Structure 1
Amino acid sequence: MQQNAIIFHGTGGSPEILWFPWLGTRLRERGYAVDIPHYPGMNAEPVATLLPKVLAAHRFDEQTVLVGHSGGAAFLLALLENLDVTVAQAILVAGYATRPNDSDEPVLQETYDWAAIRAHVRDIYFVNATHDPYGCDAAQGRAMFERLGGTQIIRDDGHFGDYDQPYDTFPLLDRLIG
């Protein structure tokens, strides 16, 4: 069975920005089937309406690797909670499980079934920065790590890509996947 990777952009994002195309190319070169979908409703529409669309649009199995950035990483929590399989890996980059700032966060659920999330992923990573301009920082990563285990990686790299932070490659992710 072929390994597959699905890379989720964050709020207001798209598949063509930041390190998403670079990582997709790197993974394809290693034999992965890669999907970098565009979800304009990411963190704009309620997670309860976005989640069924994502579940229906993709194949999830024990070879699946999930990568999410910012709002896309926060979305992975709901996705993992609702899968009926255990995926290989999930990497949450600048992720969060509670409101990181005073913006509306429709991507978040009121509560999470942490045991279900943990049961649906073999290997989980939280990559956060010491200082994130949106509050998706190391404390957010630590809160998820304490509930789910896995590996927390703390860097001093802001939001790992933003309108004013070019981030065209992300070698750490390439090394973590596999």
Structure 2
Amino acid sequence: MDFNECIKKRIAKEVKEDKELIASLIKTSQNKFDSEKKLELSEVTSSSKISLLYDSLRELLEALAIKNGYKIYNHECYTYFLKEILNESIKGDEFDELRKIRNSINYYAKDISVEEAKDVLKRIIKLRKGILNLLLKMKRAFIVHRWDGTPKNDWYPWLKRELEKKGFKVEVPAMPNTSEPKINDWVNHLKKVVGKLDNETYFIGHSIGCQTIMRFLEKETYNNKLGNVVFVAGWFKLDNLESEEAKATANPWINTPIDFNKIKQKISKLTL
């Protein structure tokens, strides 16, 4: 099975982000986490402690899935969600192993010793911490402006405000020498601003900003998927340029090829 099959079987579906539900799930997860700590570990309580802590982990996974636009009804599908949607294969494999241990306890009445329980509880706590970090990590959006533009031009301030309302950290970098943009200068500046890429990194490009993003991604060695990328009024050819200076500025952008396959490998969804 994979995540697409989870969708087809309707044991996972796309939903809108629900911040109130996410907050509620984080709270109930913490309550179970705190409750588990109050139980002294023994042969009698080992199974209960594992079940409580697993449920605490599972509720964080539910919140993380909703944050990323999915409602998941089957525990196994969380494995594929982690591995295929978030590109967190190690976490996905670990959750799958813990899921099987919990199922053997809950559904097949498997006895578990205190020593075994200690190991399982440590693993759940470690994975839960990793999931919580993913959940609380803020999405970052970078808006790259047009030729001869500034961060205060056009629709950039409006979009920045709207994205911030949705919980994004938004940057609209002032690109260098905007009247005569040069590929290396713009790509290097964007690289400096963005820093480390991850699956919570989003890009919006306008006009020459679209090419800047593509040329930046083409050179990056990041091998996983980013968040979504949106291009507005991008171009690879310009007609009716008004001056020889404008033509000289545009020519490198028009004539320097881009390896689109390298870019496609990094993008989860592209909107033009």
Under a length normalisation based on structure 2, what TM-score does the superposition of the two structures give? Answer: 0.43
Residue 211 of structure 2 corresponds to which residue in structure 1?
74
Identify if the C-alpha distance between structure 1 residues 109 and 117 changes in structure 2 by more than 3 Å, giving closer, same or farther. Answer: farther
Identify if the C-alpha distance between structure 1 residues 108 and 4 changes in structure 2 by more than 3 Å, giving closer, same or farther. Answer: farther
Count of residue pairs brought into register by the alignment: 125
Identify if the C-alpha distance between structure 1 residues 121 and 42 changes in structure 2 by more than 3 Å, giving closer, same or farther. Answer: farther
Residue 27 of structure 2 corresponds to which residue in structure 1?
none
Are residue 20 (structure 1) and residue 156 (structure 2) matched? Answer: yes
Residue 9 of structure 1 corresponds to which residue in structure 2?
145
Distance 1:26 1:12 in 2: 24
Distance 1:29 1:73 in 2: 24
Identify if the C-alpha distance between structure 1 residues 25 and 38 changes in structure 2 by more than 3 Å, giving closer, same or farther. Answer: same
Indicate if the aligned counterparts of 2:151 and 2:157 stay in contact, CA closer than 8 A: yes
* More contact order relative to length (CA 8 Å, sep ≥ 6): 1
Identify if the C-alpha distance between structure 1 residues 118 and 34 changes in structure 2 by more than 3 Å, giving closer, same or farther. Answer: same
Residue 36 of structure 1 corresponds to which residue in structure 2?
172
User: What is the letter of the counterpart of residue 189 of structure 2?
Assistant: K
Are residue 83 (structure 1) and residue 220 (structure 2) matched? Answer: yes
Indicate if the aligned counterparts of 1:43 and 1:71 stay in contact, CA closer than 8 A: no
Name structure 1 gaps, 5 residues minimum: 127-178
Q: Which residues in structure 2 correspond to 1:1-178 (within 5 Å)?
A: 1-42=137-178, 44-59=180-195, 60-85=197-222, 86-96=225-235, 98-101=236-239, 102=241, 103=247, 104-105=249-250, 106-108=252-254, 110-126=256-272
Once the 2 structures are TM-superposed, how far is the Cα of residue 107 of structure 1 from its aligned partner? Answer: 4.0
Please tell me the root mean square deviation across aligned C-alpha atoms, in Å: 1.8
Indicate if the aligned counterparts of 1:8 and 1:36 stay in contact, CA closer than 8 A: yes
Query: What SS does structure 2 have at the residue aligned with 1:87?
Result: coil
Any idea what the Cα deviations from partners look like across 1:20-39, whole Å, max 9, x if unmatched?
A: 01110011111100001111
Identify if the C-alpha distance between structure 1 residues 109 and 53 changes in structure 2 by more than 3 Å, giving closer, same or farther. Answer: farther
Give the helix-richer structure, 1 or 2.
2
Distance 2:262 2:178 in 1: 22
Under a length normalisation based on structure 1, what TM-score does the superposition of the two structures give? Answer: 0.64
Any idea what the Cα deviations from partners look like across 1:107-142, whole Å, max 9, x if unmatched?
A: 45611111101111111111xxxxxxxxxxxxxxxx
* Structure with max Cα Rg: 2
Name structure 2 gaps, 5 residues minimum: 1-136, 242-246
Q: Percent identity?
A: 22
Once the 2 structures are TM-superposed, how far is the Cα of residue 76 of structure 1 from its aligned partner? Answer: 1.7
Query: What SS does structure 1 have at the residue aligned with 2:269?
Result: strand
User: What is the letter of the counterpart of residue 122 of structure 1?
Assistant: S
Identify if the C-alpha distance between structure 1 residues 76 and 109 changes in structure 2 by more than 3 Å, giving closer, same or farther. Answer: farther
Distance 2:255 2:139 in 1: 29
Query: What SS does structure 1 have at the residue aligned with 2:217?
Result: helix
Query: What SS does structure 1 have at the residue aligned with 2:227?
Result: strand
Residue 143 of structure 1 corresponds to which residue in structure 2?
none
User: What is the letter of the counterpart of residue 199 of structure 2?
Assistant: E
Identify if the C-alpha distance between structure 1 residues 74 and 42 changes in structure 2 by more than 3 Å, giving closer, same or farther. Answer: farther
Give the strand-richer structure, 1 or 2.
1
